[in-house]
Amino acid sequence: MLIYGLGRSGRGVARFLAREGRAGPGQGVHWLDARPSGEDLALMAELGLQQGNAAHAYETVIAAPGVPIDHPDLVALRARGAEVIGEVALAARSRPELPMVGVTGTAGKGSTTVLIAHLLRACGLGAQEGGNIDPPLLDVVDSAEVAAVELSSFQLERVPGLRLPVAVITNLGVDHLDRHRTVKAYHAAKRNITAGQLADDVLVLPQGLSLPTRAQVRRFSAARIALQSGAEVLPVGELPEGIHPANAAAAVLAAEALLEHLGRPVSAHTLAEGLRRAAPMPGRFETVARLGGVRFVEDSIATRTIAVQAALERAAAPIAWLVGGRDKGAELEPLRQAAQGRVTRVIAFGEDGEALARALGLPYDVVPGASGDESMDNAVQAGLQALDGAGTVLLAPIGTSFDQFRDYRSRGESFRRAARALCAAGPPEPAGPGVKA
């Protein structure tokens, strides 16, 4: 075997194979990474794994999702007879007895995955989440009774033969065209979640989305949280703050389907109580601070049009909308429409903030910042000053975080810190300098 690409996923593969006794000195498992980190190198040395060579022949290549499926090395390795798979396929083959619910979609897949695991635990199952979210799936396969697995389009390019008893597609929008090149190819990768399903399996889809599948289709909408029978589980208005109704509706259907697959009873009351105790994932439309009538809402992961639009529709108006980072080519017209009558001002920060704000055609301020934290401090303060004592300062940035932050999580942490510090200081002073348009 060759572990191609380390990082979070590749390290999880290496640890799993070592625990299995399939990796170590003389076991024939190699690794290859163009830019291994110090953590990567330390783990490979600890496990006794040797660096490989893409010019050699391997039976199996376990490619990290960050490696394009058409990377020249992977093409060459396939030409020499290697099967290219990913972490999820390895987990499914190594633990075929582990029931898994797979979740994908352009937006909401992480939150829905965590919510499914939470509901299954509420129903008495030892459920754990993993995959595209922390931890890697292979880190939990030996401790989980059932697994809820977030699956990105990159992961779904490398899951040959995967059969899921329950699969969920939250929605299909536009994303990752830098990798997939076309919307058609991106959607085809997402549809791989149901490619191996058979008539006894269940595919949970939103109302209005149709695609080829052999599985039983169960549909959800944000309007009603109900079982497949139509019995209501919980009124939408009773959901905890930060739990999106569509995610809750999809999670209930998925949990119900897996319970049925396992021959376990389904209790609407138990599922309702589970929903009432649910908490949003950090960084997913979470209220992190309040000052009088102003809420500070972090949705740092909102870089896809569909996710940003959802945030704009859910936030209490008037909204001071923090926009910035590095432009990834998101479609802006739906956001311009969602912002009408709700966004009082756009606060632009980071590398492409001003360009994004200008393209949106809304009133905006540009805040300076030599560092990510300085930019966020200024953006949060400007957002509060743009509101008249009530409304929402919303971080739904459109751009990626890589201009000034390590990742979306560190950008979200910076927003939390800035918002809480500002609230601790009290009401704002009069507006300071900034570029206005």
pLDDT for 432 equals 46
pLDDT for 23 equals 84
pLDDT for 178 equals 64
Domain made up of 2-85: CATH architecture? 3-Layer(aba) Sandwich (3.40)
Six token digits for residue 111: 């939150």
* Per-residue pLDDT band at 284 (split at 50, 70, 90): confident
**Residues making up the binding site:** 105-111
**Smallest Cα–Cα separation from 387: which of 313, 271, 290?**
290
The pTM of this model reads: 0.81
Six token digits for residue 104: 């994908």
The yes-or-no answer to whether 2-85 and 91-277 have a common fold is no
pLDDT mean over 136-157 = 94
**Residues making up the binding site for ATP:** 105-111
286-425 CATH fold:
Protein-Tyrosine Phosphatase; Chain A (3.90.190)
pLDDT tens digits for range 309-360: 989 999 999 999 999 999 988 889 999 999 999 999 999 999 999 999 999 9
For 330, half-sphere exposure in the C-beta direction (CA atoms, 13 angstrom radius) is: 30
Report the mean per-residue pLDDT for the chain. 93
pLDDT at 428 over 70: no
pLDDT mean over 279-305 = 91
What residues contact 252, with CB distance under 8 A and at least 6 apart?
Answer: 119, 220, 225, 226, 227, 233, 271, 275
Domain boundaries, the chain: 2-85, 91-277, 286-425
The CATH class that applies to domain 91-277 reads alpha beta
pLDDT for 36 equals 92
